[in-house]
Amino acid sequence: MMRYRQGWKALNRLLHEDRSFSGHERNCVFLNTHSNTGNERFADISAASGLDFADDGRAVALSDWDFDGDLDIWVTNRTAPRIRFLRNNSARENHFISIKLHGDGKTTNRDAVGARVEVVLDGDNSLPLIKTLSAGDAFLSQSSSWLHFGLGNSKQIRHVVVHWPGDEQRQYDGLEVDHRYIIDQQSNSVNSWTPPTNRKQLKESQQETLASTSVARTVLPARRLLPSLRADGMEQPLNTMIDRPTVITIWSATCNTCAQELKDYADQADQIRQAGLNVLAVNLDNIEGDSSGAEQVLASTGFPFTNVSGTVELVRSLDVLKRAIFDRWQTSTVPASFLVDERGFVCVLYQGPVEISRLLTDVKLLNVPDSELRTYTSPFPGKWVMPPLAADPLPVTSHFIDEAMVNSGTDYLERHTQLGSQSPTNADGQEPGDLYYVLAVLLRDQEQIDESQEAFRRAIGYRPDDFRFRSDYASLLAKIGQLDQAAEQLQEAARINPSDVSTERKLAFIRMAQGNASAAIERFNKVVKAQPKDVACWYNLANAYRVNGQLDKAIQTYRHTVELQPGMTLAANNLAWILATHPQAENRNGTEAVKWADHVCKQTKYGSPAFLDTLACAYAETGDFKKATAAASKAIKILTTNGQSDQAASIQARLELFRKKMPYRDE
């Protein structure tokens, strides 16, 4: 399961990073080189066809779009161009027939999906041409509902047969080549159809590629909390320096645009301060080891605001934030800026240099209510049909965990919970308990057990009566062997929802694992009463009776278990063992014991020493000590060969009893 999830994550990463699944493998086209020699093959004509684009192709749909008698192709791609129309301009003068079916709406659907058409050519001894009308005939696509048959150089059609859904078959004569026909099931009519003449012709055009730009501005429809940013040589995160609207700009001395941006900040410092805005510059040159160039740039521009040196962790944290916001994951470049409010929530992201006039205008967005902010994200006016987006911290947290930055993810969620609101409900309507619960599940799936436990505890602290929190936390505790703690959580879950059978089931199994058979019996009985076909619980209930010394009830319960599922070998073997070795004669039944013991030995081809041991005891109970000795001897031989001397010694002691013609009693 872990590898499966990892595979999907890798696949999604390819999608988000605009990468090809197949390494930009070109489209393939194969030609059927049909011959009468029986040596049919397909030839690769990809290059000659002109269809071998290096697009990341997905869907293909066929249609005689221009009604010239041959099929044209529509292709969609994951990357640009998103759609291509490929017109078939074959110069060959072959023939065709195209048929559209109308079902009667009773025995056949109106679209005639599922109908099969056979075209039999005159003078042709080969098999008929056959096509079936389908709904969705390729990946994410649907070709034309006209069934198009290429006839080659054949000029005569003997007849056409339609196999309608519902076992109705009809033959139609008199159809001509190079025509289009509509066949109606209800009226049994065949009507020739002529394409319209006033259709607008598609003209070939070249795709206009927009000029590439490194400048972008994105107003977020919901503010996102800035992750904790660690600067070089600073104990506290940079976030502690944000006490008013601030623009954080990421820059490098190797970037001329960055230097110009710093100069613009310096030249218009008074206007920036008057707008109530602070500037915090983060230089990345020290990551490569040489920050002397940064000092020169700062001195030459007269940069009057705070400048700090960044860290790899800072860059990764900002990258995580952007990946949680944008569907396309692109490599971060400098300069990049983040406009945040006094609480540290990001409102606007900038890629490339920022015009100061633009920045001073955008500062006003920090005072726009959350419900109205998205109005400024759209490049055109309109009416919103969905409620405003919530500033959900979980995507950011999830990305932190995926990047193995668990502490950063936990810190992000905690800060969001604290800053979102001082009330039990966050500003975006999410309760802290829910946030910590999702975090706990994410950490659990990443095998971060200690961190997951802490998140579960925090979730329960906010919502102690949430059944999900208790139940899932108990499952985690049971998985890591903390049975007492798991039982405590399940008892709380049972208190919250007394009617939940799954909780009783989990408690029963935990009580058995704890060695508390009496408590397990009580729980298992509740489960089988509610779910009488739960074979696993019946089997474990029988085991609990056996451990608790209630052998008569164990026998009855084992019998019921094998009645429900005769193939459960462990239940049958335990039943046979008690019937063969019970200390009280009224509870022994050697014949039945042999029946079940031999049943399980047959299922395992007499290769299980434990089952052979039971069979030996069963034979001894019936007085057949010769077979008992043979079964026990075989079991000892298998165990000795496998180096299991302790188990062999135990059966050896019973073998000595059998040789003395004495049965074994399980005292």
* pLDDT score, position 36: 65
pLDDT over 90 percentage in the chain: 68
* pLDDT score, position 289: 78
pLDDT of 46 over the 50 cut: yes
Which is it for strands 179-184 and 95-102: parallel, antiparallel or unpaired? parallel
Average the pLDDT over 158-177 and give the result.
94
CA 158 to CA 171: how far, in whole Å?
Answer: 10
Residue 100 resides in a domain: yes
pLDDT digits (tens, 9 = 90+) for 371-392: 889 999 988 888 888 888 878 8
CA 252 to CA 250: how far, in whole Å?
Answer: 7
Enumerate residues 6+ apart whose C-beta is below 8 A from 196: none
- Out of 324, 345, 376, pick the residue that ends a domain: 376
Average the pLDDT over 339-347 and give the result.
95
* pLDDT score, position 148: 97
CA 636 to CA 287: how far, in whole Å?
Answer: 68
Rama region for 544: left / alpha / beta (φ>0; ψ in -120 to 50; rest): alpha
* pLDDT score, position 78: 80
The verdict on 191 and 264 lying in the same domain is no
Q: Residue 520: CA atoms inside 13 Å, Cβ hemisphere, count?
A: 23
* pLDDT score, position 425: 37
CA 399 to CA 284: how far, in whole Å?
Answer: 23
CA 623 to CA 390: how far, in whole Å?
Answer: 78
- The CATH number of the domain holding residue 665 is 1.25.40
* pLDDT score, position 423: 36
The verdict on 238 and 163 lying in the same domain is no
Name the more confident of 567 and 91.
567
* pLDDT score, position 421: 47
**How crowded is residue 81: how many other Cβ atoms within 10 Å of its Cβ?**
12
For residues 453 and 476, the answer to whether their CB atoms sit within 8 Å is yes
Q: What is the pTM of this model?
A: 0.65
Written as one string, the DSSP assignment of 272-317 is HHHTT-EEEEEE-HHHHT--HHHHHHHHHHT--SEEEE--HHHHHH
The verdict on 65 and 145 lying in the same domain is yes
* pLDDT score, position 420: 59
| Three-state DSSP class for residue 34 | coil
CA 483 to CA 148: how far, in whole Å?
Answer: 68
Query: Per-residue confidence at 442, pLDDT binned at 50, 70, 90?
Result: confident
**How crowded is residue 55: how many other Cβ atoms within 10 Å of its Cβ?**
20
Name the more confident of 56 and 493.
493
* pLDDT score, position 432: 83
The verdict on 173 and 86 lying in the same domain is yes
Residue 638 resides in a domain: yes
The verdict on 176 and 251 lying in the same domain is no
Q: Of 36-40, 451-455, 494-498, which range is least confident?
A: 36-40
Residue 500 resides in a domain: no
Written as one string, the DSSP assignment of 411-466 is HHHHHHHHHH-SSSS-TTS--HHHHHHHHHHHHHHTT-HHHHHHHHHHHHHH-TT-
Measured over the CA atoms of residue 603, residue 608, residue 614 and residue 619, the dihedral's sign is: positive
The verdict on 309 and 187 lying in the same domain is no
Name the more confident of 81 and 534.
534
The 8-class DSSP code of residue 141 comes to B
The verdict on 71 and 179 lying in the same domain is yes
* pLDDT score, position 265: 97
Residue 79 resides in a domain: yes
Q: Which residue reads 């409102």 in tokens? A: 347
Rounded mean pLDDT of the chain?
90
Average the pLDDT over 596-610 and give the result.
94
Q: Which residue reads 């997951």 in tokens? A: 452
The verdict on 183 and 230 lying in the same domain is no
The verdict on 158 and 264 lying in the same domain is no
Distance, C-alpha 243 to centroid of its chain: 41
Q: Which residue reads 């030459």 in tokens? A: 300
CA 194 to CA 5: how far, in whole Å?
Answer: 54
* pLDDT score, position 22: 67
Residue 453 resides in a domain: no
- Parent domain of 256: 216-376
Residue 294 resides in a domain: yes
pLDDT of 667 over the 90 cut: no
Look up residue 545 and give its two tokens. Answer: 């009776």
* pLDDT score, position 91: 79
The verdict on 144 and 243 lying in the same domain is no
- Out of 376, 396, 412, pick the residue that ends a domain: 376
Residue 439 resides in a domain: no
* pLDDT score, position 16: 86
CA 475 to CA 449: how far, in whole Å?
Answer: 12
Angle at the Cα of 544 (from 506 to 501), degrees rounded to 5?
30
Enumerate residues 6+ apart whose C-beta is below 8 A from 55: 27, 75, 77, 79, 81, 84
CA 175 to CA 159: how far, in whole Å?
Answer: 7
The verdict on 240 and 162 lying in the same domain is no
Look up residue 63 and give its two tokens. Answer: 């249609």
Residue 92 resides in a domain: yes
Q: Which residue reads 């001195």 in tokens? A: 299
* pLDDT score, position 290: 80
* pLDDT score, position 1: 66
The verdict on 69 and 114 lying in the same domain is yes
pLDDT digits (tens, 9 = 90+) for 398-429: 899 888 898 898 889 888 877 754 433 344 45
Measured over the CA atoms of residue 514, residue 518, residue 521 and residue 526, the dihedral's sign is: negative
Which is it for strands 278-283 and 246-251: parallel, antiparallel or unpaired? parallel
Average the pLDDT over 51-58 and give the result.
86
pLDDT digits (tens, 9 = 90+) for 206-219: 777 778 787 899 99
- The CATH number of the domain holding residue 354 is 3.40.30.10
CA 578 to CA 216: how far, in whole Å?
Answer: 78
Enumerate residues 6+ apart whose C-beta is below 8 A from 191: 181, 182, 184
For residues 320 and 7, the answer to whether their CB atoms sit within 8 Å is no
Query: Per-residue confidence at 507, pLDDT binned at 50, 70, 90?
Result: very high
* pLDDT score, position 474: 96
User: In total, how many domains does the chain have?
Assistant: 3
CA 414 to CA 451: how far, in whole Å?
Answer: 13
What number of helices (H) and strands (E) belong to the chain?
24, 19
- Out of 165, 196, 227, pick the residue that ends a domain: 196
